[in-house]
Amino acid sequence: MSIWPARSRATGSLARVSCGFSCALLLASTIACQRSGPEGATTEAATEEPAKAAGTALDVIATSTSASNSATEAHHGPPDIVLITIDTLRADSLGFAGNQRVATPLLDRLATTGRVFSFAHAHNVVTLPSHVNILTGRYPYQHGVHENSGFKLGEEIPTLATLLHAAGYATAAFVAAYPLDARFGLDRGFEVYDDNYPVGSNPTEFVMAERRGDEVVGLARDWWEGERDSPRFLWVHLYDPHAPYAAPEPFASRYAGEPYLGEVAATDAFLEPLLAPLLDHNDGSTLVVVTSDHGESLGEHGELTHGLFAYEATLKIPLVLWGRGVVPGTDGTPVGHVDIFPTLLRAAGIEIPTDLPGRTLPIAGSDQQPPREFYFEALSGAINRGWAPLHGLLATHHKFIRLPLPELYDLAADPAESNNLIDRDRRLANRLRGRIPAEALEPAKRGDISEEELRRLRSLGYVASSASADASFTAENDPKNLIAIDRKLHQVVALYMERQLPQAATLAREIIAERPTMAIAYEHLSEALREQGRIDEAITALESALANGVSHPGVTRQLGLSLAEAGRGAEAVRLLASTAGGEDIDSLNALAVAHYSAGNLEDAHKTLLKVLSFDAENTKALETLGAVALRAGKTAEARRYLEQAIEINDRLPFAWNTLGVARRLLGDNAGALAAWQRAFDLDPRSFDALNNIGWVAASIGEKEMAIRAFTRFIEIAPPARGEEIRKARQALARLQ
Q: What is the pLDDT of residues 82-93, one digit of tens each?
A: 999 999 999 999
| Size (the chain), residues | 736
Kind of pairing between the strands at 232-238 and 407-410: unpaired
Average pLDDT, the chain: 85
Structure confidence by residue, pLDDT tens digits, 675-691: 999 999 998 889 999 99
With H, G, I as helix, E, B as strand and everything else as coil, classify residue 68. Answer: coil
pLDDT of residue 455: 55
Distance CA 471, CA 185 (A): 30
pLDDT of residue 160: 98
Q: What is the per-residue pLDDT across 448-475, written as a single tens digit (0 to 9) for each? A: 666 555 555 555 444 444 433 445 789 9
Lowest-pLDDT range of 199-208, 287-296, 399-408, 700-709? 199-208
Q: What are phi and psi of 197, to 5 degrees?
A: -70, 170
pLDDT > 90 in the chain, percent: 67
Contact between residue 267 and residue 94 where contact means Cβ atoms under 8 Å apart: no
pLDDT score for 62: 31
What pLDDT, on the 0 to 100 scale, is given for residue 530?
86
CA distance 236 to 194: 10
pLDDT digits 0-9 by tens, 137-155: 999 999 999 998 888 999 9
Q: Record the pTM.
A: 0.78
SS3 144: coil
51 or 500, which is more confident: 500
Looking at residue 293, what is its pLDDT?
Answer: 98
pLDDT for 579-623, tens place per residue? 777 777 888 999 999 999 999 999 999 999 999 998 888 899 999
Position 451 scores a pLDDT of: 58
Residue closest to 327 by CA, chosen among 42, 687, 122, 66: 66
Of the spans 64-73, 209-218, 502-511, which averages the highest pLDDT? 502-511
Which has the closest alpha carbon to 656: 686, 634, 625, 629?
Answer: 686
Contacts of 708 (CB under 8 A, 6+ apart): none
Answer whether residue 718 shows pLDDT above 50.
yes
Q: What's the rounded Cα separation, in Å, for the pair 398 and 316?
A: 13
Predicted pLDDT at 400: 98
Buried/exposed 483-510: b ≥16 CB within 10 Å, e otherwise: bebbebbebbbebbbeeebebbbebbbe
pLDDT tier for residue 49 given thresholds of 50, 70 and 90: very low
In Å, how far are 170, 222, 429, 479 from 229, measured between CA atoms? 8, 15, 54, 52
Q: For the residues of 640-694, what is the DSSP string, one character each?
A: HHHHHHHHH-S--HHHHHHHHHHHHHTT-HHHHHHHHHHHHHH-TT-HHHHHHHH
pLDDT recorded at residue 63: 31
Does 627 have pLDDT greater than 80? yes
* Cα–Cα distance, 529 to 536 (Å, whole number): 9
Sign of the CA dihedral running 166, 172, 175, 178: positive
pLDDT band at 213 (very low <50, low <70, confident <90, very high): very high
Determine the pLDDT at residue 33: 32
Containing H/E element for 318? none
Contacts (Cβ under 8 Å, ≥6 apart) of 242: 87, 88, 177, 208, 210, 263
**The predicted structure's pLDDT at residue 537:** 95
* Per-residue pLDDT at 101 exceeds 90: yes
Alpha carbon 225 to chain centroid, angstroms: 29
100-126 mean pLDDT: 98
pLDDT digit string, tens, across residues 352-380: 999 999 999 999 886 667 788 999 999 99
Mean pLDDT of 15-22: 26
598: closest CA among 577, 626, 622? 577
The per-residue pLDDT for 75 is 60
